[in-house]
């Protein structure tokens, strides 16, 4: 099995190195090839997603991705900015289903800004559609308003759109995921206001009939934002569109206290995927050896489960991470009094040791 390893910028190379260390220790038949992406690729090849990197990603069975971006690239033209590499990979590889688990380990409840009884043991999954919605709908642009109270003034406009097949395929992904969990799907929309959401709700309800063993509920996005901080444990799987998912998945991430703990996966229709931590390249701490590699290590576990069909090895990594937390080992971002502060590399070593 071939893995494309794309470390990227900032803390990317440091945290990916630890995930690779863990994967190597499992002694699986994996071949891993590394290529530059993001700002690192722009510096070498003049583009954030050079053809050689894209070819490697296309030919691989899965992609392990660090993070991209640095403020020093902010003045580049939009199409050359590091973040375009992620959009390019999503587009070229047709990655349409984003999995963002939000898990709050009992040992880390103190890191959350919410009360321990609200977040302790939290384990929810947000399934976000990644290819459609207002981010990609056309027409969009900035023009002079053709009518209305402010006719003639400059206005920005975007188009929210979802087709039935797009909603259907993400619905199937969410229901299948729920079958491996607690068999509950909450579909989040804004169908009291948006036509797009009305169709979304109609299609979700129709697809649910094929999954009579899974319970479907619907919730407006504003209520979902409230329930996520009031009673997050009432959810199992949340399925939603690109815009709402973008916002709710970050909200859910922060419930757990540290963004350094959360993995993510973006899958195509054959379960080939790109696996990356939920956080960015953290240029403020890059090169200091203090970044938390656990989100990337847990992303590697997701890769073994979803793309490489190695659930037992995925579980081994997840159990090892849990053990390390129980041992009281912490990187700076999750450190609390009474625990032991360790570096990025020491955390990788501790996970390897805990694999047993």
Binding of ligand NAD by 285 (CB under 6 A): yes
* Residue among 135, 184, 233, 268 flagged as catalytic: 135
Near ligand NAD by CB under 6 A: residue from 279, 305, 316, 330: 279
Give the range of 174-182, 231-239, 267-275, 287-295 binding ligand NAD by CB under 6 A: 287-295
74 is catalytic: no
Q: Cα separation of 7 and 18, whole Å?
A: 11
235-260 exposure pattern, b = at least 16 Cβ within 10 A, e = fewer: bbbbbbbbbbbbebbeebbbbbbbbb
Binding of ligand NAD by 35 (CB under 6 A): no
Q: Cα separation of 277 and 64, whole Å?
A: 9
Binding-site size for ligand NAD (CB under 6 A) equals 22
* Residue among 42, 70, 190, 335 flagged as catalytic: 190
* Residue among 43, 58, 180, 222 flagged as catalytic: 222
Near ligand NAD by CB under 6 A: residue from 280, 321, 335, 350: 280
Q: Cα separation of 122 and 315, whole Å?
A: 18
Binding of ligand NAD by 259 (CB under 6 A): yes
* Residue among 25, 250, 268, 323 flagged as catalytic: 250
Interface with ligand NAD in residues 291-310 (CB under 6 A): 291-292, 295
Binding of ligand NAD by 333 (CB under 6 A): yes
349 is catalytic: no
Binding of ligand NAD by 40 (CB under 6 A): no
CB of 2 to ligand NAD, least distance (A): 22
272 is catalytic: no
Q: How far is C-alpha 85 from the chain's CA centre?
A: 15
CB of 133 to ligand NAD, least distance (A): 18
Binding of ligand NAD by 282 (CB under 6 A): yes
Interface with ligand NAD in residues 68-87 (CB under 6 A): 68-70, 83, 86
Give the range of 43-51, 66-74, 192-200, 348-356 binding ligand NAD by CB under 6 A: 66-74
140 is catalytic: no
61 is catalytic: no
* Residue among 123, 246, 268, 323 flagged as catalytic: 246
Which CB sits closer to ligand NAD, 83 or 168? 83
Task: By CB under 6 A, name the binding residues for ligand NAD.
Answer: 11, 15, 67-70, 83, 86, 259-260, 276, 279-285, 291-292, 295, 333
Query: What residues are annotated to the active site?
Result: 135, 190, 222, 246, 250
């Amino acid at each position: 099995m071939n893995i494309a390893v794309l470390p990227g910028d900032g803390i990317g190379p440091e945290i990916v190195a630890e995930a690779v260390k863990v994967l190597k220790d499992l002694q699986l038949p994996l071949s891993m090839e590394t290529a530059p992406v993001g700002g690192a690729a722009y510096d070498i090849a003049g583009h954030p997603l050079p053809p050689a990197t894209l070819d490697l990603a296309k030919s691989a069975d899965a992609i392990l991705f660090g993070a991209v971006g640095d403020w020093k690239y902010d003045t580049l033209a939009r199409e050359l900015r590091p973040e375009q590499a992620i959009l390019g990979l999503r587009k070229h590889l047709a990655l349409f289903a984003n999995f963002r688990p939000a898990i709050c380990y009992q040992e880390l409840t103190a890191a959350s800004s919410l009360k321990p009884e609200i977040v302790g043991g939290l384990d929810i999954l947000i399934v976000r559609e990644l290819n459609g919605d207002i981010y990609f709908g056309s027409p969009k642009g900035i023009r002079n308003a053709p009518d209305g109270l402010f006719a003639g003034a400059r206005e920005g406009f975007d188009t929210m759109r979802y087709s039935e097949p797009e909603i259907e395929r993400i619905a199937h992904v969410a229901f299948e995921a729920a079958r491996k969990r607690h068999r509950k799907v909450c579909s989040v929309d804004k169908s009291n206001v948006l036509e797009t959401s009305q169709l979304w709700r109609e299609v979700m309800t129709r697809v649910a009939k094929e999954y009579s063993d899974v319970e479907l509920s619907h919730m407006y996005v504003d209520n979902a934002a409230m329930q996520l901080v009031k009673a997050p444990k009432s959810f199992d799987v949340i399925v939603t569109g690109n815009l709402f998912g973008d916002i709710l998945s970050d909200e859910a991430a922060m419930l757990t206290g540290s963004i350094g703990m959360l993995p993510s996966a973006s899958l195509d229709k054959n379960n080939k995927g790109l696996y990356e931590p939920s956080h960015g390249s953290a240029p403020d701490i890059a090169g200091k050896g203090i970044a938390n590699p656990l989100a990337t290590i847990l992303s590697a576990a997701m890769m073994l489960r979803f793309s490489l069909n190695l659930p037992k090895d995925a579980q081994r990594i997840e159990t090892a991470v849990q053990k390390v937390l129980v041992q009281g080992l912490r990187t700076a971002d999750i450190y609390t009094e009474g625990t032991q502060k360790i570096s990025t590399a020491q955390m990788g070593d501790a996970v390897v040791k805990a694999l047993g």
